[in-house]
Amino acid sequence: MGEDRPLKTLREVRREHILRILEQTKWDLEEASRILRVSPAFLKRELRHYGLRKK
């Protein structure tokens, strides 16, 4: 607390969380969707929504 940096938006937090899980799973969408407790189809929609692509 006491820091004056701006708070992240929910969109930024969600995007970063998804990206962190994808990096941990080496972009294994099945494993990432299991960890995130969402369907692989939903995760794919989120990837498009947030503009996330494997580098």
Nearest Cα neighbor of 22 from 7, 5, 4, 50 is 50
According to the model, what pLDDT value does residue 4 have?
80
Q: Tell me how far apart the alpha carbons of residues 26 and 40 are, in angstroms, rounded to a whole number.
A: 15
Q: Give the global pTM.
A: 0.84
Count Cβ atoms within 10 A of the Cβ of residue 14 and give its class: 0-12 exposed, 13-18 middle, 19 or more buried. Answer: middle
The string of pLDDT tens digits covering residues 32-48 is 999 999 999 999 999 99
pLDDT digits (tens, 9 = 90+) for 8-30: 999 999 999 999 999 999 999 99
